[in-house]
Structure 1
């Protein structure tokens, strides 16, 4: 049996990390909304990512509040609904990275189709992303105790030893979008290599054309690097949950209770780190923020 001090330390850590992530998410979205120079497709997609993160952080903080109460076992209002929206928000984060990859695919390979490069298409992508995310969370609602209070960490979610739900959740929320992102960037990387070979083999005679091509290559590589860094952070954050799920399925729910908290806190920490990296890598947002802070 874990002591109350253990729960308190973990909840305090989780709350602090969540507030940091919440603050950066709000900051990024505030800068994007209030500055017209930020009204770009890239920032629209980042705005959507931060919305998903905001929902997740808020729901997690609510869960922490009820988990620290003395009557946590009996006072968990809207537990199933909160668990549903947590799954929707986490899906929203991973699928936001997927539509960012699709957007980069449009600009890198299908750039001759001008309609794919318009903001309207990307708003449509965002709409369908949210539609998919809301549908993803519905399946556990039709299974008895699909969403429930997990006593090990006193929060609402999916019990990892449920064979009918746990593998579904990790595959549809992490594995599927992550695999598609990797596949998309593999295609882009192949295109970049082909462009590099064309430059080196003197197929591009004009110096100006060569410079444009090299700029295109460099830009794609930078974007690929940034998104893959963020994806790796999220995947690492979800790894403890995967380990917990496998352990629980093999030993029928006998995984150490500490691992439950590790799976929750690692995901919160990964999401916060992802938002911080997103802020740091966005030069426009970072520059405007520093300008505000300096009073200019």
Structure 2
């Protein structure tokens, strides 16, 4: 009787383990597929900006390309973590897991803080564009991008300095929820700080535009502020799409529902795909460039142009 019970229990454990492994394999494969699509879209945007002169050679599109680079880094790091989870389960090193967690958190903060750089740029244009011309030059924005990447390298250092991240079978290398202080740090440093700053900048520019409408003495300045508000609104929309990918993971941390954990793996990269699609849709110049490119490739020559060629070929055949 005991032998039968033990055999049944072992069989159930093997079945459960196989089901979990299959679930991870399917979910991670889907997420990696979305990551590949996101990388292709990012590369397409970067190539279009580089090749389209002078329409897309602007500071705004430089910052969009910076966000695309951060998104490519994010998708690559997520796919790497999935590869270790599925194909390299024997890699149980705590040190290796900490470094994977470090690069994962670095890629997350790189993407989110890139939107903060865009918001600060709009603030410079709105407030200091006429008084301090140096703030709206390409050189100053290259410095901002350099600072951005320096910050995102420093922020996740607690992941490798502490021992809070360690290998856990079947789980990604994140900070466990039991390390409350470290979890609060990740939430504040990687998410809340940038979101609060972007919100403050958005509210400030909105109030500035509202005052400009009330005192419409300088219509040109009012129109410029309206353009800043439009661009900043797009930044907020794209950031909201990006952040929404982490909602299932937050629900998992609160409720411990495995379904939310698996769903979160997919939404991480799926929302990046959505964000890149909306980047093309919301940015007017980029949207026009893509539309012209598609129209040019699918354009059909009129019959009046083709007809002389056909007649010339017929005459050659008859002769």
1:225 matched to 2:233? The reply is: yes
Task: Output the CA distance in 1 between the equivalents of 2:254 and 2:162.
Answer: 20
How far is the alpha carbon of 1:110 from its aligned partner?
Answer: 1.9
State the match for 2:11 in structure 1.
none
1:130 matched to 2:181? The reply is: no
1:190 matched to 2:198? The reply is: no
Task: Output the CA distance in 2 between the equivalents of 1:291 and 1:161.
Answer: 53
* 1:253-291 alpha-carbon deviations (Å, 9 max, x no partner): xx1222222333222222222122112222333333344
Quick check: 1:80–1:148 contact (8 Å CA) kept in 2? yes
Task: Output the CA distance in 2 between the equivalents of 1:273 and 1:148.
Answer: 32
Task: Output the CA distance in 1 between the equivalents of 2:124 and 2:117.
Answer: 10
Quick check: 2:31–2:267 contact (8 Å CA) kept in 1? no
How far is the alpha carbon of 1:98 from its aligned partner?
Answer: 0.5
State the match for 2:160 in structure 1.
141
State the match for 1:174 in structure 2.
191
Quick check: 1:24–1:279 contact (8 Å CA) kept in 2? no
1:280 matched to 2:281? The reply is: yes
How far is the alpha carbon of 1:233 from its aligned partner?
Answer: 1.4
How far is the alpha carbon of 1:75 from its aligned partner?
Answer: 6.8
Task: Output the CA distance in 2 between the equivalents of 1:162 and 1:267.
Answer: 23
Task: Output the CA distance in 2 between the equivalents of 1:113 and 1:150.
Answer: 52
State the match for 2:247 in structure 1.
239
Q: 1:150 to 1:29 in 2, by over 3 A?
A: farther
| Structure 1, unaligned runs of 5 or more | 248-254
Moved more, 4-13 or 87-96: 4-13
**What TM-score do you get using the length of structure 2 for normalisation?**
0.79
How far is the alpha carbon of 1:113 from its aligned partner?
Answer: 1.5
Which is higher, the Rg of structure 1 or of structure 2?
Answer: 2
How far is the alpha carbon of 1:150 from its aligned partner?
Answer: 4.5
Q: 1:292 to 1:188 in 2, by over 3 A?
A: same
Quick check: 2:202–2:233 contact (8 Å CA) kept in 1? no
Quick check: 1:102–1:184 contact (8 Å CA) kept in 2? yes
1:7 matched to 2:24? The reply is: yes
| Structure 2, unaligned runs of 5 or more | 1-15, 300-319
Count of residues paired in the alignment: 277
Task: Output the CA distance in 2 between the equivalents of 1:162 and 1:262.
Answer: 23
Q: 1:240 to 1:161 in 2, by over 3 A?
A: farther
